[in-house]
Structure 1
Amino acid sequence: MMKAEENPMNGGDGMTNAVLEQFTTMIGEWIPEEAALAVAAGGKYVHFNGKGHRIPLAAGAPVEPGSIAHRVLKERKRTEAYLDGSDEIPPYYGIGYPVEVGEEPGAVVVLLPPGWRPPGEDPVRFLTGRQDDEWVPVPVGKISHIESADKKTWFYSDGEAYSTTQTLKQLETVLPESFHRIHRSYLVNTDAIARIRKDFTGNLLVETTDGEELPVSQTYASALRGTFGF
């Protein structure tokens, strides 16, 4: 456990630069550049750098029960979890570490973007889906999109639907980078996108090569635009 002797309440954002430098040095060898970083102590967040992500945290905000920071502060051990998103907030993978801020217990939480995986960990090459009483292995490159509906997960290839026991959030962490979340209920293989257009309300729609139209929520619209450069 790391201990910082400086007063955590100094500085405009709730911590001195010296304390922040110690924390970032501790995890800087592996943390991706695009990851967000939060530090909590005394039941609230004393620092947050969101790196431009739409995460509803800020210095001074209370630590919510059940959050990674709350679990680290309570259990005093390394904690990791996948954080469910919503139509407004994308999902994130978070890892928390116990620290000491001044004289009180603290937590450093790293929030990793969707699709992040440890260096050297290869994505899966196929998914095995069920059709009636058969199990069919399908190469992920042939999958157009994946859907969560009625508490089940389905993936689609060549117009065929296959069920899987894995959830969207589980699949998002192991699939290749070509799979993007575009909605709380959909992952799409960008290699299988035929066109992107607007619907009558101005929201984006994705049409896949097998003719399916999938809605794009506002949360993921900017990322999709960035991927395709429009």
Structure 2
Amino acid sequence: MVDFTLNAKERTDLGKGASRRLRRNAEMVPAIIYGGEKAPQNVSLEARELKKALENEAFFSHVIKLNVEGKKQDVLLKALQRHPAKGHVMHADLLRVVAGHEVTLQVPLHFVNEDKCVGVKKEGGIISHTMTEIEVSCLPKDLPEFLEVDMADVALGQTVHLSDVKLPKGVSSVALSHGADHDLPVANVHAARVAVDIEETDAPAAEGDEDSAE
């Protein structure tokens, strides 16, 4: 399991103008820490350090050790605000981890054994993913970095639903907690579309036109 640590500084200069100056002059990213019984805390993260951490998929569903000027606390990345054109991070929301309190978070799906899928190898189908992550609820210590979806035995025409995804002990699906009507599709194996030869379909019409002309 990967350990993630970020360093942060307390931020007292607030507002949109202050955030722009922070990103431009100090190469820092404004962020807020909230949750638990403590008041929200405004901090700034080093842009380069955050960017490197975001390159690892596990960072999005992993407890992060945050060091705010020597004071350490555990947090989860709850949301990111990115620049609409350039894509760099403009703001981050960090949720405090409280021991014994469940958290809800989006966890990525890893589709395995797609090369061995029955519906593809034996029946010529194609796999389509309808989800790439699912929302789960669990204690922070039970939070999985990802969830596997085994496609090996999925036949042509079959659909894998949320209820088919195996969850670790202590982890539950938020959607399924609302009832069977929320058992949404995750992936399916469907038939490949057959291309129609336009020239062949046009041929009879062309012959008919010649007969008419004669």
Report the TM-score, using the length of structure 2 for normalisation: 0.28
Larger Rg: 2
Return the TM-score normalized by structure 1.
Answer: 0.27
Looking at secondary structure, tell me which structure has more helix per residue: 2
Structure with higher RCO (Cα < 8 A, 6+ apart): 2
